[in-house]
Amino acid sequence: MTEVPGASAAASPSDRTGPAIEPWLREILRCPQCRSTLSDGSGPDGPELQCTNTQCRRAYRIEEGVPVLLVDESRLLAD
């Protein structure tokens, strides 16, 4: 197996989250459905961003440190 220059050995292949979301980016992210703020959460597939609007109740997965903010790929949070 060849080492990739600059690649971090700290992240394992099973680590779905990858690097953390940059703080400046985290502050401006909003729910694409209702434009409410998002909070950190944990879902069945790992870390996710959850809409803070109780009417919207959407959760967006994070893949390799990148939030997937697609309404069609979001899941509804349980009541």
The domain segmentation of the chain, as residue ranges, is 23-76
With CA atoms as reference, report the closest residue to 61 among 52, 6, 53, 72: 72
Read off the pTM.
0.73
Q: Lowest-confidence range among 11-15, 33-37, 55-59? A: 11-15
Most confident of 2-6, 7-11, 68-72: 68-72
23-76 sits in which CATH class?
A: mainly beta
Average per-residue pLDDT for the chain = 81
Which stretches within 1-79 are classed as H helix? 23-28
| Predicted confidence band of residue 17 (pLDDT cuts 50, 70, 90) | very low
